[in-house]
Structure 1
Amino acid sequence: MAGDLQALGRAIKQAQHRHHRALDTRLGAAGTTLAQWDALRAIDREPGSSARALAEETFQSEQAFGTLANRLAARGLIERTPGRGRLIEHRLTAAGRRTLAAGNEIADSVLAESFAELSAAERKTLQALLQRVGAGLRN
């Protein structure tokens, strides 16, 4: 049983690793990286969010997200403005929206390729199962 669970965990990690490698390689055509595109995506979903919230959303430390946000701001892809108290709010610029849109097209292509062997029903089932996995785990 334990070996089966470890094999399952490894298969999930392997699929994620393949997605990340393909995305990172192909996102270069849009002038971005996987980490940058993911940050733009998070900011687009929740404009005005703090670095702490965005770090959590992108599975990064606050420090790592802050470094990434500084690079995105230097490239003119996001704006960082003072918010309530000491919070810094993040928003996409027009250039950031264009980069995000180009990245989204690439990601859609990579993921369509990856999941092509699964029917729509199988993809829906896989998504539901993965959302249940680890839901009860605590740090």
Structure 2
Amino acid sequence: MHDPRTGNLLGAAALAVTDLMLEGVTELSGVGPSAASALVVLTVSPGLNGTELGRRVGLSQPASARMVDALVSRQLAERRPGQGREIAIRLTRRGRRTAADILAARSGRLAQALAVLDPAERAILSGLLDKVLTGLYAEIGNADLLCRLCDRASCTTDAICPVGQAERERNG
């Protein structure tokens, strides 16, 4: 059954949370949302080539090349020889610190948004979000893209990531 009010509330909440989260992330890092996501992605997948990095953050190959150029010019990442003719993108020490700061800022903004809920309400919301994210994975089909700005450790400590689980079930 279609519930326009619930969908509208979810849309408004999602947009507000995204705005708050990205504001903190972009202010702190001095880069845009895609570049901030790339820094986080490179913390868990160092050495990706520019095309794969772009795919994981939702950018075309040309846009990804421009983003990598910007990260390199800001001394947040560097290009290194990869396999064969590929060029691997790796974070610099400054890039790793910035990525950690991005995740901390993101976490702080999300904690503020959830502060209006008591622990029982947060547990209920967590279960509902597991279900929503599983459904979103079924539609999007790309765990890397869905989780491009995730703090993966916080999602998998004492729990199973619903997106990762959905991907494992799909790939059987």
CA distance in 2, matches of 1:107, 1:90: 23
Indicate if the aligned counterparts of 2:79 and 2:87 stay in contact, CA closer than 8 A: yes
Deviates more, 1:107-116 or 1:56-65: 56-65
1:36-76 deviations in Å (ceiling 9; x for gaps): 22110001110011223222221222222221111000010
Q: Match of 2:33?
A: 34
CA distance in 1, matches of 2:127, 2:24: 28
TM-score normalised by the chain length of structure 2: 0.66
Whether 1:133 and 2:131 are equivalent positions in the alignment is no
Q: Match of 2:116?
A: 117
The 3 A distance-change label for structure 1 pair 135 and 94 is closer
Give the drift of 1:19.
2.7
CA distance in 2, matches of 1:58, 1:109: 22
Q: Match of 1:70?
A: 69
CA distance in 2, matches of 1:95, 1:130: 35
CA distance in 1, matches of 2:34, 2:4: 29
Q: Match of 1:84?
A: 83
Give the drift of 1:6.
8.8
Indicate if the aligned counterparts of 1:32 and 1:99 stay in contact, CA closer than 8 A: no
Q: Which runs of 5+ in 2 are unaligned?
A: 142-172
Say how many residue pairs are matched. 137
Q: Match of 1:102?
A: 101
CA distance in 2, matches of 1:86, 1:5: 51
State, as a whole percentage, how many aligned pairs show the same letter. Answer: 26
Indicate if the aligned counterparts of 1:82 and 1:88 stay in contact, CA closer than 8 A: yes
Alignment of 1:43-58 (within 5 A): 43-58=42-57
Whether 1:24 and 2:22 are equivalent positions in the alignment is yes
Q: Tell me which amino acid in the other structure corresponds to 2:75.
A: G
Give the drift of 1:100.
1.4
Q: Which runs of 5+ in 1 are unaligned?
A: none
